[in-house]
């Protein structure tokens, strides 16, 4: 088989960046941007202006310096400090390359990151990226602007396929050590990892964390295709499975349900929102549903 040249890989990468940019532009509408704006709060309030006092205004808001200079009562007006720091913590471990349909989990992760990053761009927020497996691969500090978003998408797509495991705890510790202001953090992963519960608890107290859980339908329900050898892309272990057995398929599905239920209980206990996506299903409605849930809580 002919090896792919660097020029061909670059060309394919840029074509995929262009495809995702076009897709995102089509999906991103005023409603989605408006929902985003309403449910992700800034870091506090900032002074907006001083205006003349009107009957009914709170006297505690009087700006005594301006009042003394002008001889007329003025009050201070404040507005929400809207600028957010939005971080995308993207899992690029071996299991992310899996996909039984048109999209792998890694490709779905890139599409989701692009959509959310473009939404943040429309709201003048900063976006940053950390990719990780069992170690941190890349860290792009938060920046504003279309160029920052385009690079973010390009780097997620260009992340080399690894055969490494997943260390969510190490990724969370890295963000905690480098990001000192509160941030909105989208953790995009299939969450096939262990031992990150303590770090998740600490992290969720400081940042607004959203768990974006990506799965393939074959991970939920084993297809009946006879005797197959399954390879774990992270541990490299192989297992011979008789998928024709109804009992095997039931056990496989029950294990998946139980693992997800345990994750759900953990996320609820920590107040972490969950965005569930599958490689074979549209994802914009899932994003909107997340925004609606957050909006209802704020009311």
Domain ranges of the chain: 15-39+83-298, 45-80
Are the C-beta atoms of residues 124 and 144 closer than 8 Å to each other?
yes
Q: Which residues, listed in sequence order, are joined to residue 239 by a DSSP beta bridge?
A: 230
Other CB atoms closer than 10 Å to residue 165's CB: what's the count?
A: 19
Q: Helices (DSSP H) in the chain: which residue ranges?
A: 6-27, 30-39, 64-70, 105-122, 146-158, 168-178, 197-206, 217-220, 246-270, 284-298
The pLDDT score that the predictor gives to residue 35 is 80
Residue from 26, 32, 107, 117 nearest 280 by CA: 107
pTM of the model: 0.78
Q: Which residue shows structure tokens 């990001």?
A: 179
Residue from 190, 277, 170 nearest 233 by CA: 190
The pLDDT score that the predictor gives to residue 1 is 42
CATH class held by domain 15-39+83-298: alpha beta
pLDDT (tens place) for every residue of the chain, 299 residues total: 445 555 665 566 566 666 666 656 666 666 677 788 777 766 554 455 677 888 878 788 888 888 898 888 988 865 445 578 999 999 999 888 888 888 889 889 988 998 898 888 888 889 999 999 999 999 999 999 888 988 888 888 777 667 788 999 999 999 999 998 889 999 999 999 989 999 999 999 999 999 999 999 999 988 888 888 777 766 777 888 888 889 999 999 999 999 999 999 999 999 999 999 999 988 888 998 898 888 888 76
The pLDDT score that the predictor gives to residue 12 is 66
């Amino acid at each position: 088989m002919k090896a792919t040249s660097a020029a061909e890989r670059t060309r394919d990468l840029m074509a995929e960046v262009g495809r995702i940019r076009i897709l995102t532009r089509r999906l991103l509408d005023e409603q989605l941007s408006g929902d985003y704006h309403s449910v992700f709060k800034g870091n506090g309030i900032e002074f907006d202006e001083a205006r003349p006092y009107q009957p009914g205004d709170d006297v505690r808001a009087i700006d005594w310096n301006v009042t003394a200079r002008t001889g007329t009562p003025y009050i201070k007006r404040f507005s929400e400090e809207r600028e957010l720091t939005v971080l995308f913590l993207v899992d690029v471990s071996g299991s992310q390359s899996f996909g039984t349909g048109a999209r792998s989990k890694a490709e779905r992760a890139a599409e989701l990151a692009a959509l959310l990053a473009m939404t943040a761009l429309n709201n003048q927020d900063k976006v940053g990226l950390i990719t990780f497996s069992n170690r941190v691969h890349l860290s792009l500090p938060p920046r504003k602007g279309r160029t920052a978003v385009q690079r973010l998408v390009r780097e997620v797509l260009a992340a080399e396929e690894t055969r490494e495991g997943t260390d969510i705890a190490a990724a969370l510790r890295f963000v905690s050590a480098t990001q000192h202001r509160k941030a909105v953090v989208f953790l995009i992963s299939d969450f096939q990892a262990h031992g990150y519960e303590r770090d998740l608890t600490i992290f969720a107290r400081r940042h607004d964390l959203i768990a974006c859980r990506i799965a393939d339908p074959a991970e939920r329900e084993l297809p009946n295709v006879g005797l197959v050898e399954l390879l774990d892309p992270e541990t490299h272990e192989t297992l011979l499975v008789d998928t024709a057995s109804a009992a095997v398929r039931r056990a496989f599905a029950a294990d998946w349900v139980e693992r997800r239920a345990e994750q759900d209980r953990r996320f609820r206990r920590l107040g972490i929102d969950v965005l569930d996506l599958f490689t074979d299903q549209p994802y914009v409605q899932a994003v909107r549903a997340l925004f609606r849930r957050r909006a209802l809580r704020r009311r």
